[in-house]
Protein backbone atom coordinates (compact mmCIF):
# COMPACT_ATOMS: atom_id res chain seq x y z
CA UNK A 1 0.00 0.00 0.00
CA UNK A 2 1.34 3.47 -0.80
CA UNK A 3 1.50 6.30 1.70
CA UNK A 4 -0.94 8.41 -0.23
CA UNK A 5 -3.98 9.08 1.90
CA UNK A 6 -6.30 8.46 -1.01
CA UNK A 7 -5.37 4.80 -0.69
CA UNK A 8 -5.46 4.63 3.07
CA UNK A 9 -8.35 3.88 5.41
CA UNK A 10 -9.98 7.09 6.57
CA UNK A 11 -11.38 7.86 10.00
CA UNK A 12 -14.60 9.77 10.70
CA UNK A 13 -12.57 12.96 10.34
CA UNK A 14 -12.16 12.19 6.65
CA UNK A 15 -8.45 11.49 6.85
CA UNK A 16 -6.16 8.59 7.77
CA UNK A 17 -5.77 7.82 11.48
CA UNK A 18 -2.08 8.67 11.46
CA UNK A 19 -2.96 12.21 10.35
CA UNK A 20 -4.91 12.61 13.59
CA UNK A 21 -3.76 13.36 17.13
CA UNK A 22 -6.67 14.09 19.44
CA UNK A 23 -8.68 16.82 17.76
CA UNK A 24 -5.73 17.93 15.64
CA UNK A 25 -5.45 16.90 12.00
CA UNK A 26 -2.47 17.01 9.67
CA UNK A 27 -2.59 17.58 5.95
CA UNK A 28 0.56 17.24 3.84
CA UNK A 29 0.38 17.99 0.12
CA UNK A 30 3.10 18.18 -2.53
CA UNK A 31 2.26 19.31 -6.07
CA UNK A 32 4.41 19.83 -9.15
CA UNK A 33 4.74 23.42 -10.34
CA UNK A 34 4.82 24.58 -13.99
CA UNK A 35 7.89 26.49 -15.17
CA UNK A 36 6.38 29.91 -14.57
CA UNK A 37 5.41 29.08 -10.99
CA UNK A 38 9.09 28.71 -10.16
CA UNK A 39 9.45 32.47 -10.60
CA UNK A 40 5.93 33.54 -9.70
CA UNK A 41 5.56 31.79 -6.34
CA UNK A 42 8.68 33.29 -4.71
CA UNK A 43 7.43 36.73 -5.79
CA UNK A 44 4.04 36.00 -4.25
CA UNK A 45 5.64 34.66 -1.08
CA UNK A 46 7.69 37.86 -0.84
CA UNK A 47 4.60 40.01 -1.34
CA UNK A 48 2.50 37.99 1.11
CA UNK A 49 5.06 37.94 3.91
CA UNK A 50 6.89 41.23 3.55
CA UNK A 51 4.42 43.65 1.97
CA UNK A 52 0.84 42.56 2.49
CA UNK A 53 1.16 40.67 5.78
CA UNK A 54 -1.23 37.98 7.02
CA UNK A 55 -4.24 37.37 4.78
CA UNK A 56 -7.49 38.63 6.34
CA UNK A 57 -9.35 35.78 4.60
CA UNK A 58 -7.02 33.25 6.18
CA UNK A 59 -7.73 34.75 9.59
CA UNK A 60 -11.40 33.86 9.04
CA UNK A 61 -10.44 30.20 8.97
CA UNK A 62 -10.62 29.82 12.72
CA UNK A 63 -9.73 26.12 12.70
CA UNK A 64 -6.11 26.41 11.52
CA UNK A 65 -3.39 26.34 14.20
CA UNK A 66 -0.44 26.62 11.80
CA UNK A 67 -0.03 26.32 8.03
CA UNK A 68 2.83 26.75 5.58
CA UNK A 69 3.62 26.80 1.88
CA UNK A 70 7.15 26.09 0.71
CA UNK A 71 8.81 25.71 -2.67
CA UNK A 72 11.25 22.82 -3.07
CA UNK A 73 13.69 23.41 -5.94
CA UNK A 74 16.69 21.29 -5.09
CA UNK A 75 17.61 18.50 -2.75
CA UNK A 76 21.09 18.90 -1.29
CA UNK A 77 23.82 16.26 -1.56
CA UNK A 78 24.13 13.82 1.32
CA UNK A 79 27.14 11.72 0.48
CA UNK A 80 27.88 9.38 -2.44
CA UNK A 81 24.56 7.51 -2.22
CA UNK A 82 22.52 10.73 -2.43
CA UNK A 83 24.06 13.35 -4.75
CA UNK A 84 22.44 16.75 -5.12
CA UNK A 85 19.23 16.65 -7.15
CA UNK A 86 18.16 19.79 -8.96
CA UNK A 87 14.50 19.26 -9.73
CA UNK A 88 13.24 19.88 -13.26
CA UNK A 89 10.06 21.28 -11.75
CA UNK A 90 9.75 23.05 -8.42
CA UNK A 91 7.49 21.24 -5.96
CA UNK A 92 4.97 23.15 -3.86
CA UNK A 93 4.77 21.75 -0.33
CA UNK A 94 1.75 22.64 1.78
CA UNK A 95 1.00 21.55 5.31
CA UNK A 96 -1.68 22.47 7.78
CA UNK A 97 -2.34 21.66 11.43
CA UNK A 98 -6.05 22.13 11.99
CA UNK A 99 -9.15 20.80 13.71
CA UNK A 100 -12.56 19.72 12.45
CA UNK A 101 -13.01 17.45 9.46
CA UNK A 102 -10.98 17.06 6.27
CA UNK A 103 -13.97 17.68 3.98
CA UNK A 104 -15.09 20.75 5.90
CA UNK A 105 -11.54 22.06 5.86
CA UNK A 106 -11.24 21.86 2.09
CA UNK A 107 -14.77 23.27 1.66
CA UNK A 108 -13.96 26.29 3.82
CA UNK A 109 -10.63 26.81 2.10
CA UNK A 110 -12.28 26.69 -1.31
CA UNK A 111 -15.12 29.06 -0.50
CA UNK A 112 -13.29 31.62 1.65
CA UNK A 113 -9.82 31.59 0.10
CA UNK A 114 -10.88 31.09 -3.51
CA UNK A 115 -8.57 33.75 -4.92
CA UNK A 116 -5.68 32.80 -2.65
CA UNK A 117 -5.98 29.15 -3.64
CA UNK A 118 -5.86 30.10 -7.32
CA UNK A 119 -2.80 32.22 -6.61
CA UNK A 120 -0.97 29.50 -4.68
CA UNK A 121 -1.91 26.39 -6.66
CA UNK A 122 -2.69 27.98 -10.04
CA UNK A 123 0.78 27.11 -11.35
CA UNK A 124 0.56 23.46 -10.21
CA UNK A 125 -0.06 20.81 -12.87
CA UNK A 126 -3.58 19.42 -12.79
CA UNK A 127 -4.98 22.06 -10.41
CA UNK A 128 -8.69 22.19 -11.21
CA UNK A 129 -9.54 25.52 -9.42
CA UNK A 130 -10.99 25.48 -5.90
CA UNK A 131 -14.63 25.61 -7.01
CA UNK A 132 -16.52 23.38 -7.46
CA UNK A 133 -14.98 21.54 -4.55
CA UNK A 134 -15.35 17.92 -5.73
CA UNK A 135 -12.57 18.03 -8.38
CA UNK A 136 -10.41 20.06 -6.04
CA UNK A 137 -10.83 17.51 -3.24
CA UNK A 138 -9.92 14.74 -5.68
CA UNK A 139 -6.81 16.72 -6.64
CA UNK A 140 -5.77 17.17 -3.00
CA UNK A 141 -6.39 13.46 -2.30
CA UNK A 142 -4.09 12.56 -5.21
CA UNK A 143 -1.31 14.72 -3.88
CA UNK A 144 -1.76 14.22 -0.15
CA UNK A 145 0.74 12.08 1.74
CA UNK A 146 -0.17 10.40 4.98
CA UNK A 147 1.99 11.23 7.98
CA UNK A 148 3.84 8.36 9.59
CA UNK A 149 3.80 10.24 12.88
CA UNK A 150 1.92 13.39 13.83
CA UNK A 151 2.20 15.18 17.17
CA UNK A 152 0.32 17.99 18.86
CA UNK A 153 1.39 19.48 22.21
CA UNK A 154 -2.25 20.13 23.14
CA UNK A 155 -4.19 17.53 21.15
CA UNK A 156 -7.57 18.09 22.80
CA UNK A 157 -7.65 21.83 22.13
CA UNK A 158 -9.17 23.34 19.02
CA UNK A 159 -7.81 26.59 17.59
CA UNK A 160 -10.87 28.39 18.92
CA UNK A 161 -10.28 26.95 22.40
CA UNK A 162 -6.67 28.14 22.37
CA UNK A 163 -7.64 31.66 21.27
CA UNK A 164 -10.40 31.75 23.91
CA UNK A 165 -8.07 30.48 26.64
CA UNK A 166 -5.45 33.12 25.82
CA UNK A 167 -8.11 35.83 26.06
CA UNK A 168 -9.52 34.49 29.34
CA UNK A 169 -6.05 34.21 30.85
CA UNK A 170 -5.13 37.81 29.97
CA UNK A 171 -8.33 39.18 31.50
CA UNK A 172 -8.14 36.87 34.50
CA UNK A 173 -4.59 38.05 35.21
CA UNK A 174 -5.78 41.67 35.11
CA UNK A 175 -8.57 40.93 37.60
CA UNK A 176 -6.29 38.85 39.81
CA UNK A 177 -3.74 41.68 40.01
CA UNK A 178 -6.25 43.95 41.74
CA UNK A 179 -8.50 41.41 43.49
CA UNK A 180 -6.77 41.54 46.86
CA UNK A 181 -6.99 45.31 47.19
CA UNK A 182 -10.73 45.59 46.37
CA UNK A 183 -13.68 45.77 48.73
CA UNK A 184 -15.75 42.52 48.59
CA UNK A 185 -18.72 44.22 46.92
CA UNK A 186 -16.50 45.89 44.33
CA UNK A 187 -14.78 42.57 43.66
CA UNK A 188 -18.14 40.78 43.22
CA UNK A 189 -19.09 43.45 40.64
CA UNK A 190 -15.74 43.08 38.89
CA UNK A 191 -16.13 39.27 38.83
CA UNK A 192 -19.59 39.55 37.24
CA UNK A 193 -18.27 42.00 34.64
CA UNK A 194 -15.37 39.63 33.95
CA UNK A 195 -17.77 36.71 33.41
CA UNK A 196 -19.96 38.78 31.09
CA UNK A 197 -16.89 39.88 29.17
CA UNK A 198 -15.44 36.38 28.69
CA UNK A 199 -18.61 34.26 28.56
CA UNK A 200 -18.20 33.60 24.83
CA UNK A 201 -14.74 32.18 25.66
CA UNK A 202 -15.92 29.75 28.35
CA UNK B 1 11.34 39.70 7.91
CA UNK B 2 12.06 35.98 8.17
CA UNK B 3 9.46 33.84 6.33
CA UNK B 4 10.22 30.95 8.72
CA UNK B 5 8.75 33.03 11.54
CA UNK B 6 5.36 34.34 12.56
CA UNK B 7 5.66 36.28 15.80
CA UNK B 8 7.76 34.09 18.06
CA UNK B 9 6.59 30.89 16.32
CA UNK B 10 8.97 29.26 13.86
CA UNK B 11 8.61 26.72 11.06
CA UNK B 12 11.21 24.07 10.37
CA UNK B 13 11.09 21.90 7.23
CA UNK B 14 13.73 19.21 6.66
CA UNK B 15 13.89 16.73 3.75
CA UNK B 16 16.41 13.90 3.95
CA UNK B 17 17.04 10.97 1.56
CA UNK B 18 16.20 7.58 3.04
CA UNK B 19 18.97 4.97 2.74
CA UNK B 20 18.32 2.25 0.15
CA UNK B 21 16.31 -0.59 1.67
CA UNK B 22 15.46 1.36 4.84
CA UNK B 23 12.07 2.80 3.89
CA UNK B 24 9.87 0.02 5.30
CA UNK B 25 11.85 -0.19 8.52
CA UNK B 26 11.76 3.58 9.01
CA UNK B 27 8.07 3.75 8.26
CA UNK B 28 7.36 0.97 10.81
CA UNK B 29 9.49 2.73 13.41
CA UNK B 30 7.70 6.05 12.92
CA UNK B 31 4.26 4.49 12.89
CA UNK B 32 4.96 2.84 16.24
CA UNK B 33 5.91 6.13 17.91
CA UNK B 34 2.34 7.04 18.75
CA UNK B 35 1.93 3.98 20.97
CA UNK B 36 5.38 4.33 22.52
CA UNK B 37 5.00 8.05 23.17
CA UNK B 38 6.13 10.76 20.80
CA UNK B 39 9.72 11.92 21.29
CA UNK B 40 8.43 15.37 20.30
CA UNK B 41 6.56 15.48 23.62
CA UNK B 42 9.98 15.82 25.25
CA UNK B 43 10.71 18.97 23.27
CA UNK B 44 8.60 21.43 25.26
CA UNK B 45 8.81 24.13 22.59
CA UNK B 46 7.12 21.99 19.92
CA UNK B 47 3.52 22.95 19.12
CA UNK B 48 3.09 20.51 16.22
CA UNK B 49 5.43 18.12 14.45
CA UNK B 50 5.30 15.34 11.89
CA UNK B 51 7.41 12.84 10.03
CA UNK B 52 6.21 11.89 6.56
CA UNK B 53 7.76 9.40 4.15
CA UNK B 54 7.60 10.87 0.65
CA UNK B 55 7.81 7.94 -1.79
CA UNK B 56 7.88 10.08 -4.93
CA UNK B 57 6.24 13.07 -6.59
CA UNK B 58 2.87 12.57 -8.26
CA UNK B 59 2.81 13.07 -12.03
CA UNK B 60 -0.34 14.71 -13.37
CA UNK B 61 -1.74 13.58 -16.76
CA UNK B 62 -0.96 16.94 -18.43
CA UNK B 63 2.60 16.98 -17.18
CA UNK B 64 5.01 16.17 -19.99
CA UNK B 65 8.06 15.32 -17.88
CA UNK B 66 7.98 13.51 -14.58
CA UNK B 67 10.19 14.63 -11.73
CA UNK B 68 11.22 11.44 -10.00
CA UNK B 69 12.89 11.33 -6.63
CA UNK B 70 16.06 9.23 -6.76
CA UNK B 71 14.96 7.59 -3.51
CA UNK B 72 12.16 8.05 -0.96
CA UNK B 73 12.65 11.08 1.28
CA UNK B 74 11.84 11.69 4.92
CA UNK B 75 10.04 14.96 5.56
CA UNK B 76 10.16 16.41 9.06
CA UNK B 77 8.32 19.56 9.97
CA UNK B 78 7.87 21.34 13.25
CA UNK B 79 6.02 24.42 14.45
CA UNK B 80 7.90 25.55 17.53
CA UNK B 81 8.80 28.42 19.82
CA UNK B 82 11.85 30.12 18.33
CA UNK B 83 14.69 30.59 17.86
CA UNK B 84 15.78 27.70 15.66
CA UNK B 85 19.35 27.43 16.88
CA UNK B 86 18.52 26.60 20.50
CA UNK B 87 15.56 24.44 19.42
CA UNK B 88 17.91 22.22 17.43
CA UNK B 89 20.31 22.12 20.39
CA UNK B 90 17.42 20.90 22.54
CA UNK B 91 16.41 18.37 19.91
CA UNK B 92 19.93 16.93 19.73
CA UNK B 93 20.38 16.90 23.51
CA UNK B 94 16.85 15.93 24.52
CA UNK B 95 15.94 13.27 21.98
CA UNK B 96 19.31 12.62 20.39
CA UNK B 97 19.11 8.82 20.63
CA UNK B 98 15.59 8.64 19.18
CA UNK B 99 16.49 11.20 16.54
CA UNK B 100 19.38 9.01 15.41
CA UNK B 101 17.00 6.01 15.31
CA UNK B 102 15.03 8.02 12.76
CA UNK B 103 17.56 10.06 10.77
CA UNK B 104 20.13 7.29 11.12
CA UNK B 105 18.13 5.57 8.38
CA UNK B 106 18.79 8.53 6.08
CA UNK B 107 21.81 9.11 3.85
CA UNK B 108 24.50 11.35 5.24
CA UNK B 109 23.29 11.29 8.83
CA UNK B 110 26.17 11.41 11.32
CA UNK B 111 26.71 8.51 13.69
CA UNK B 112 26.26 10.62 16.82
CA UNK B 113 24.06 13.50 17.88
CA UNK B 114 27.00 15.94 17.84
CA UNK B 115 26.70 16.27 14.07
CA UNK B 116 22.94 16.00 13.88
CA UNK B 117 22.25 19.73 14.14
CA UNK B 118 24.51 20.51 11.17
CA UNK B 119 22.88 17.65 9.22
CA UNK B 120 19.37 18.99 9.83
CA UNK B 121 20.44 22.53 8.93
CA UNK B 122 22.09 21.24 5.75
CA UNK B 123 18.78 19.69 4.67
CA UNK B 124 16.51 22.50 5.85
CA UNK B 125 14.17 24.10 3.33
CA UNK B 126 13.12 27.69 3.86
CA UNK B 127 9.43 28.42 4.22
CA UNK B 128 7.58 30.56 1.68
CA UNK B 129 4.59 31.50 3.81
CA UNK B 130 4.08 30.54 7.44
CA UNK B 131 0.76 31.26 9.12
CA UNK B 132 0.16 30.99 12.86
CA UNK B 133 -3.21 31.54 14.57
CA UNK B 134 -1.59 32.65 17.85
CA UNK B 135 1.93 33.69 16.87
CA UNK B 136 2.92 35.25 20.17
CA UNK B 137 1.88 32.34 22.43
CA UNK B 138 4.47 29.77 23.44
CA UNK B 139 3.54 26.13 24.07
CA UNK B 140 3.89 26.76 27.82
CA UNK B 141 1.55 29.74 27.64
CA UNK B 142 -1.02 27.88 25.54
CA UNK B 143 -1.08 24.96 27.96
CA UNK B 144 -1.19 27.26 30.98
CA UNK B 145 -4.04 29.29 29.48
CA UNK B 146 -6.04 26.17 28.62
CA UNK B 147 -5.66 24.91 32.17
CA UNK B 148 -6.63 28.34 33.63
CA UNK B 149 -9.68 28.48 31.39
CA UNK B 150 -10.82 25.09 32.70
CA UNK B 151 -10.27 26.24 36.28
CA UNK B 152 -12.18 29.46 35.59
CA UNK B 153 -15.14 27.51 34.22
CA UNK B 154 -15.15 25.22 37.25
CA UNK B 155 -14.83 28.15 39.63
CA UNK B 156 -17.63 30.10 37.93
CA UNK B 157 -19.98 27.14 38.38
CA UNK B 158 -18.94 26.49 41.96
CA UNK B 159 -19.06 30.12 43.08
CA UNK B 160 -22.62 30.82 42.01
CA UNK B 161 -24.55 32.24 44.97
CA UNK B 162 -21.47 32.93 47.10
CA UNK B 163 -21.44 36.05 49.27
CA UNK B 164 -19.04 38.77 48.03
CA UNK B 165 -16.48 38.24 50.81
CA UNK B 166 -16.47 34.46 50.39
CA UNK B 167 -16.30 34.85 46.60
CA UNK B 168 -13.30 37.16 46.86
CA UNK B 169 -11.51 34.84 49.32
CA UNK B 170 -12.12 31.80 47.15
CA UNK B 171 -11.01 33.65 43.99
CA UNK B 172 -7.78 34.84 45.61
CA UNK B 173 -7.04 31.33 46.86
CA UNK B 174 -7.91 29.48 43.67
CA UNK B 175 -7.38 31.81 40.72
CA UNK B 176 -5.36 34.84 41.74
CA UNK B 177 -2.02 33.05 41.56
CA UNK B 178 -1.07 31.87 38.10
CA separation for the pair A3, A146 (Å, rounded): 6
B55-64: per-residue pLDDT in tens? 999 999 889 9
Instruction: State the pLDDT at residue A11.
Output: 84
Is residue B171 domain-shared with residue B106, that is, in the same domain?
Answer: no
Instruction: State the pLDDT at residue B31.
Output: 97
Chains A–B, number of C-beta pairs less than 8 Å apart:
257
CA separation for the pair A118, A114 (Å, rounded): 6
Write the CATH number for B85.
Answer: 3.30.70.100
- Calculate the average pLDDT of chain A: 92
- Calculate the average pLDDT of chain B: 96
Q: Is residue B87 assigned to a domain?
A: yes
CA separation for the pair B132, B19 (Å, rounded): 34
Q: Is residue B130 assigned to a domain?
A: no
Least Cα distance to A118 among A139, A144, A145 occurs for: A139
CA separation for the pair B72, B17 (Å, rounded): 6
Instruction: State the pLDDT at residue A57.
Output: 72
A30-58: per-residue pLDDT in tens? 999 999 999 999 999 999 988 887 777 77
Is residue B109 domain-shared with residue B153, that is, in the same domain?
Answer: no
The 3-state DSSP class for residue A73 equals: strand
For chain B, say whether A163 makes contact (Cβ under 8 Å). yes
Average pLDDT over residues A16-26: 96
Q: Is residue B164 assigned to a domain?
A: yes
CA separation for the pair A38, A45 (Å, rounded): 11
Instruction: State the pLDDT at residue A3.
Output: 47
Is residue B153 domain-shared with residue B114, that is, in the same domain?
Answer: no
Question: Which residues in chain A have their CB less than 8 angstroms from residue B129's CB?
Answer: 45, 48-49, 68-69
Average pLDDT over residues B12-19: 98
The structural domain count of chain B equals: 2
Is residue B116 domain-shared with residue B148, that is, in the same domain?
Answer: no
pTM of the model: 0.94
Contact B127, A70 (CB under 8 A): yes
Is residue B149 domain-shared with residue B76, that is, in the same domain?
Answer: no
For chain B, say whether A17 makes contact (Cβ under 8 Å). no
Q: Is residue B132 assigned to a domain?
A: no
Q: Looking at the partner chain, which of B137, B152, B168 has a beta carbon nearest the beta carbon of A202? A: B152
**Lowest mean pLDDT segment, chosen from A54-68, A77-91, A121-135:** A54-68
Is residue B89 domain-shared with residue B12, that is, in the same domain?
Answer: yes
Instruction: State the pLDDT at residue A55.
Output: 75
Average pLDDT over residues B10-25: 97
Is residue B157 domain-shared with residue B99, that is, in the same domain?
Answer: no
pLDDT more than 70, % of chain B: 99
User: For residue B1, is pLDDT > 70?
Assistant: no
Q: Looking at the partner chain, which of A18, A179, A182 has a beta carbon nearest the beta carbon of B31? A: A18
**Interface confidence (ipTM) of the complex:** 0.96
Question: What single string gives the DSSP state of each residue in chain B?
Answer: --TTEETTEEEEEEEEEBPTT-HHHHHHHHHTHHHH--GGGG-TTEEEEEEEEE--PPPPTT-SS----SS-EEEEEEEEES-HHHHHHHHHHHSHHHHHHHHTTBTT--SSGGGHHHHHHHTB---SEEEESSTT--HHHHHHHHHHHHHHHHHHHHTTT--HHHHHHHHHHHTS--
Instruction: State the pLDDT at residue B2.
Output: 85
Least Cα distance to A21 among B25, B9, B44, B49 occurs for: B49
Question: What single string gives the DSSP state of each residue in A20-61?
Answer: EETTEEEEEEEEEBPTTHHHHHHHHHHIIIIII-S-HHHHH-
Is residue B66 domain-shared with residue B109, that is, in the same domain?
Answer: yes
Contact B123, A76 (CB under 8 A): yes
CB-CB under 8 Å, B1 with A50: yes
User: For residue A8, is pLDDT > 80?
Assistant: no
Is residue B42 domain-shared with residue B85, that is, in the same domain?
Answer: yes
Instruction: State the pLDDT at residue A60.
Output: 72
Residue span of the structural domain in which B109 resides: 5-122
Q: Where does the pLDDT of residue A5 fall: very low under 50, low under 70, confident under 90, or very high at 90 and above?
A: very low
Is residue B101 domain-shared with residue B22, that is, in the same domain?
Answer: yes
Is residue B117 domain-shared with residue B143, that is, in the same domain?
Answer: no
CA separation for the pair B92, B41 (Å, rounded): 14
Alpha-carbon distance B75 to nearest alpha carbon in chain A (angstroms)? 9
pLDDT more than 90, % of chain B: 90
Is residue B92 domain-shared with residue B37, that is, in the same domain?
Answer: yes
Average pLDDT over residues A92-106: 95
Average pLDDT over residues B32-60: 96
Instruction: State the pLDDT at residue A118.
Output: 93
Amino acid sequence: MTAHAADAGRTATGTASRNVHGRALAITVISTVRWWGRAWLPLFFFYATRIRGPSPQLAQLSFIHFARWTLIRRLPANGPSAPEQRLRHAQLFFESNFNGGWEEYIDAFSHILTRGMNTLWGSSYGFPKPLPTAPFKAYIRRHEIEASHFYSAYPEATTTMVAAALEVEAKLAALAARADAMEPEAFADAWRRFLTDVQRCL
Amino acid sequence: MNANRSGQACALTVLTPILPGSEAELRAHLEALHERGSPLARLPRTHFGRWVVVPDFVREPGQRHADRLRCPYLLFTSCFDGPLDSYLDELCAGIGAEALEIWGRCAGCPADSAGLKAYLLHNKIDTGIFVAAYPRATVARVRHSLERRERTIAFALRSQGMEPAALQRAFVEELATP
